[in-house]
Amino acid sequence: MRLNRTQSGICTASLLCLIILLSVSLRILYANRYLPNRDSIHYVLVAEQAAEGGFWDEFCLEYSPNMPPLLHLILGGIAILGGDVFFWGMVLMLLSNVIFIYGIYLCGKELFHNYPPAGLCAALLVATTPEFISVGGNIMRDNLYHCVFVFALYCGIRMAESKKTMVLDAIGYGICCTIGFLCRKEAVEIPAILMLWGIVSLFASRANFKKVFQSSMIAFFACLGTALPVFFVLNLYYPVQSALISALSSRL
């Protein structure tokens, strides 16, 4: 029996929903069964200080000042609003996992045109890999970073696949660079991959140099446009310079 396009779409969407449901269930099961990671506890403790007014001090004391602060800011915001930091933190983690799985599906679909179910297959593999379940069942910055990383990957794959410059994808890529760096310092790899792609394209036989150059520049300016305001706002409270210096010095 051959499925028409609509039926195939419904079937894929249903399977994807099932995979996402499976992924969320596994992570909830994991969180309910095991002790949370020590990192989770520290994040919650620091965030709870936000309600008492000593957030930044506690943050800097608990961690080195080189820690990217996005997750702490979100959890601190939850504490200020009076929510249960652990519960809503877990909700946030599950949400970012859902987005991560969806992003993996999109990447797989984009990457293997000839095998449409490859995206579903990739999503299933990621949803059930033990280490991803363990991280997904804890409050960790990794979850946010995976989510951003996979969308940067998706934008990058689309930029590379297309014959013309994909402006929206390039902008998305730039924004992912900024958000990624606010999640984990390892996010320096996102722009590094773009640079490597640019260099590799120089030697590729069928590369469109104009497209590569334009995409890179758009991504660069999108990154700059989002990073600068964040940098100046955060700098009022947080030693962003040291985070940058530390990230660069430890990577080089």
Work out how close the CB of 16 gets to other proteins at its nearest, in angstroms, rounded to a whole number.
Answer: 13
# binding residues, other proteins (CB under 8 A) = 77
Q: Is 233 in the site for other proteins (CB under 8 A)?
A: no
The region of 74-82, 91-99, 158-166, 223-231 touching other proteins under the rule CB under 8 A is: 158-166
Binding mask 188-217 for other proteins (x = CB under 8 A): -x--xxx-xx--xx--x--x----------
Contact 145, 100 (CB under 8 A): no
Q: Give the list of residues 6+ apart from residue 188 with CB closer than 8 angstroms, or none.
A: 181, 247, 248, 251
Among 47, 50, 67, 86, binds other proteins (CB under 8 A): 86
- Output the DSSP codes for 123-144: HHHHHH-HHHHHHHTS--HHHH
End-to-end CA distance of the chain: 57
Q: What is the token pair recorded at 91?
A: 């909700």
The region of 3-11, 73-81, 145-153, 221-229 touching other proteins under the rule CB under 8 A is: 145-153
- What does the chain come to in residues? 252
Q: Is 24 in the site for other proteins (CB under 8 A)?
A: no
**Please, which residue, 36 or 77, has the CB nearer to other proteins?**
36
Site for other proteins in 92-131 (CB under 8 A): 104, 107-108, 111-112, 115, 117-119, 121-122, 124-126, 128-131
Among 68, 69, 156, 174, binds other proteins (CB under 8 A): 156
Q: Is 3 in the site for other proteins (CB under 8 A)?
A: no
Q: Is 244 in the site for other proteins (CB under 8 A)?
A: no
Work out how close the CB of 116 gets to other proteins at its nearest, in angstroms, rounded to a whole number.
Answer: 10
Among 28, 92, 95, 239, binds other proteins (CB under 8 A): 239
CA atoms within 13 A on the CB side of 156: 22
Q: Is 132 in the site for other proteins (CB under 8 A)?
A: yes
Site for other proteins in 163-182 (CB under 8 A): none
Site for other proteins in 43-82 (CB under 8 A): 44-45, 49, 52-54, 56-58, 60-61, 64-65
Among 140, 166, 222, 227, binds other proteins (CB under 8 A): 140
Among 34, 209, 213, 232, binds other proteins (CB under 8 A): 34
Q: Is 186 in the site for other proteins (CB under 8 A)?
A: yes
